[in-house]
Amino acid sequence: MKYKADFTPQALDDLSKLDRGIAERVIKRVEWLSQNIEVINPQALKGKFQGMFKLVVGDWRVVYTADFSNKLITIHLIGHRKEIYKV
């Protein structure tokens, strides 16, 4: 079951700052997520990111929310694992 993936303006800005190769890996992984979200166990985040999930792409993280009833994934942030949670 495929979900639609939307990127917030912040996520698009984050994506535009990545090296092309890394950006392509992130996009491919988001596409994979949109097709497999119902069979994986999303990694929930805590604290100020409560209600959000993370997707691991090497040293990079994609922070997203999932609306299961509307089959929608919203990508909020994309960044290096050492920096992303300091936002």
Q: Which domains does the chain have, with CATH numbers?
A: 4-86 (3.30.2310.20)
How much of the chain is in helix, strand and coil states, percent to nearest 5? 35, 30, 30
Q: What is the pLDDT of residue 87?
A: 65
Q: What is the pLDDT of residue 86?
A: 82
Question: Over its length of 87 residues, how does the chain's per-residue pLDDT go in tens digits?
Answer: 699 999 999 999 999 999 999 999 999 999 999 999 999 999 999 999 999 999 999 999 999 999 999 999 999 999 999 999 886
Q: What is the pLDDT of residue 1?
A: 67
Strand ranges, E, within 1-87: 4-7, 43-44, 53-57, 60-67, 72-80
